[in-house]
Amino acid sequence: MYILQVIINGIMLGSVYALLGLGMSLILGIVKLTNLAHGELIILGAYCSVFLTSRLGINPFATLLITVPLMFIFGYLLQRLLINHAMKRGAEAALLVTFGVSVILKDGMLLLFTADARHISSELGSSSVNAAGMDISLLSIILSIISVGAIILLMVFLNRTYTGRAIRAAADDPRAAELSGINVAKTFSAAMGIAGAAAGIAGFCVSMKWTFYPDSGGHYLLIAFVVAVLGGLGDIRGTLAAGFIFGLIQVIGGANYGMLISYIFLIIMLVTNPKIAHAADDLSAR
């Protein structure tokens, strides 16, 4: 029974980790860019949820109706106005732009929200569901449903809509996509907008589950990168599976050794898988 409890906890934690890595995987796989501001986008989404809840009295879950569209717009404009132009000058220029955005966002959040720890307190955090003698956190169940639901929704969008198919076509061959009449610049902007929206949902989950600070983005960027590269760049199903594996390792290893074991596993994958190692080269610039 204990083993089953560990597996369930690991899967629920892993679903949130998969959501953290979803936007990173999308941009790595489609735009071929390591978005160094991804962690700050997650924290920005977390702060939006906290602000709407604490200042305006909006139900925490209802904040998603506001935060997700705003984060989509922010991501779209970021790609459209800055990164697309930087990409014309090479991958290094675009990488530096995302690094600059991450610094600006981090310092901006520090000025606006101070360095105090933030968290959305909810009765769900202390509530649990008893099933087969196991106590399962109700909040973890809800966040897992939200995370997996967002990932499935993105999979359906990419496979069933014109914009989704255009995004996949641009990812496979940008030149051929342009010859087919696809505006690759707008398609990349839409992909970054979706990544921003996913970061907004992930930020909501972070604000409900953990305490965070303005400089917490680096921590979540690393988690997102690990999940993205282990799952396969742009592979949504692989990202979900990698999140589950990462979550299980965290739960099995515990607070002391979970992260250590996870990063050792990543190093092994980097050494044995050239594709993953190549994707990691850009992150070293951080």
Q: Comparing C-alpha atoms, which of 191, 212, 230 is closest to residue 84? A: 191
Q: Measured between alpha carbons, how far is 223 from 217 in angstroms, rounded to an integer?
A: 10
pTM (global) more than 0.85: yes
Question: Domains plus CATH for the chain?
Answer: 2-285 (1.10.3470)
Beta-bridge partners for 118: 212
Chain center to CA of 160 = 22
Among left, alpha and beta (phi > 0; psi -120 to 50; other), residue 219 is: alpha
Q: Tens digit of pLDDT per residue, the chain (286 long)?
A: 678 888 888 999 999 999 999 999 999 888 888 899 999 999 999 999 999 999 888 999 999 999 999 999 999 999 999 999 999 888 889 999 999 999 999 999 999 999 999 999 888 877 878 777 777 889 999 999 999 999 999 999 999 999 999 998 988 888 888 888 899 999 999 999 999 999 999 999 999 999 999 999 999 998 998 898 888 777 888 899 999 988 988 888 876 777 778 778 777 777 776 555 555 554 444 4
31's CB contacts (< 8 A; 6+ apart) are 79, 83, 87, 188, 191, 192
133's CB contacts (< 8 A; 6+ apart) are 1
**By the 8 A CB rule, do 260 and 267 touch?**
no
